[in-house]
Amino acid sequence: MNPCPSGFYNKDEACTECHTGCATCTGGGSNECETCPEGTFLEGTECQNECEDGTYANDLTNTCDPCYADCATCNGQNDDDCLSCEDSYLDDGTC
């Protein structure tokens, strides 16, 4: 069988629509996303409107990527992209 188009997955040799929150998926559940629609971000296998603490929204890949190790919250992956810190104080974006 030919591969299914974007927004569908192969279930029992038939193309079945992904969950409405997924752009592409491995199954029909909300936790089976591979990629997300524009404006949402993949966190694990689910699409979210916002990323959890410890991650930031990567607009290039539509994924939630980890912050630099010392950051509690951030707006990027670099050591000077911190918005808050785990166990230290924030100084001009750096913990």
**Domain regions of the chain by residue span:** 1-49, 51-90
Residue identified by tokens 């001009």 is 92
Spatial distance between the Cα atoms of 74 and 57, rounded to a whole number of angstroms: 9
Compute the 3-state secondary structure of the chain and give helix, strand, coil in percent, each to the nearest 5: 0, 40, 60
Q: Thinking of the domain 1-49, which architecture would CATH place it in? A: Ribbon (2.10)
Q: Which of 75, 55, 71 is nearest to 63 (CA)?
A: 55
pLDDT of residue 32: 95
Whole-model pTM?
0.80
Q: Which of 16, 21, 53, 26 is nearest to 40 (CA)?
A: 21
pLDDT of residue 3: 84
For residue range 43-79, list pLDDT tens digits in order: 999 999 999 999 999 999 999 999 999 999 999 999 9
